[in-house]
Amino acid sequence: MVIPGVPASQPAVDSHLRARLDELCTEAWGLWEQFDTTVRRKEFHPFVAANYESVVNALIANRGPNRRFLEWGSAMGAITIMADLLGYEAHGIELDGALVDTARRLATRYESKATFVHGSFIPTGYQWETLDGDRRTGTLGAGLSGYIQLGRALEDFDLIFGYPWDGETPMMLDLMRRWGSPDAILLVHGIDETVSAYRGGRTLVASYHR
């Protein structure tokens, strides 16, 4: 099977796993639409669902033995659960406690070992600042570091995924450069619904797409 956006060398997933991933994508979209109607249309909320097909292709392309995955801002947990189904040790950190509860319920439904913690993916002690001294982090909120609950530091992860709002990517790249493992890959979902891969601040793959 040829999956768009996946390098030819990458083995495709078997049909059973593909069906489970498709089922999860569909269910997650349903949950997102419900959230959009009941929460987002009444007040601002930073949760916007990613293009799951693009993300799945990026996750498939970066699989490997014993890879540890972290989702920054894991919302309803769909992407972290997909990473678990694909064989990663998968964890998500999310600032909104109600979304963490939803993610844990979804993980149970998919018999997933993915874990979710309520807190911030911005580690205690990290400070974002642009060259001209701007410390604003846009829609990225503040809270207790989620790494304490996870019992792991950012540098312990091999693959990190984030979906920043427009203008927030430089902060994510800076955080990875300063606090992540030098070998780790950061996947960033863009507003064009493709996913880019970075290592050490440099682009590895410009676009995984659906």
- Residues of the shown chain interacting with ligand SAM in the complex, contacts defined by CB under 6 A: 46-50, 71, 73-75, 79, 93-96, 99, 120-122, 140-141, 163, 189
What count of other Cβ atoms lies within 10 Å of the Cβ of residue 40? Answer: 14
Identity of the residue, 47 or 110, whose beta carbon is nearer to ligand SAM in the bound complex: 47
Q: Shortest approach of ligand SAM to residue 123 CB, angstroms?
A: 10
Give the nearest distance from C-beta 203 to ligand SAM in angstroms.
19
Nearer to ligand SAM, 91 or 189 (CB): 189
Shortest distance, position 86 Cβ to ligand SAM, whole Å: 16
Q: Which residues contact 42 (CB under 8 A, 6 or more apart)?
A: none
Nearer to ligand SAM, 83 or 184 (CB): 83
Is the CB of 7 or the CB of 141 nearer to ligand SAM? 141
How many CB atoms sit inside 10 A of residue 16's CB?
8
* C-alpha pair distances (Å), 121 with each of 129, 142, 180, 195: 17, 9, 12, 19
> Are 147 and 169 within 8 A, CB to CB?
no
Q: Is the distance from CB of 85 to CB of 110 less than 8 angstroms?
A: yes
Query: At its nearest, how many Å lie between ligand SAM and the CB of residue 134?
Result: 17
The nearest distance, CB 12 to ligand SAM, in angstroms, is 23
Residue 13 has a CB neighbour count (10 Å cut-off) of 21
C-beta closer to ligand SAM: residue 6 or 145? 145
Biggest CA–CA distance in the chain, Å, is 51
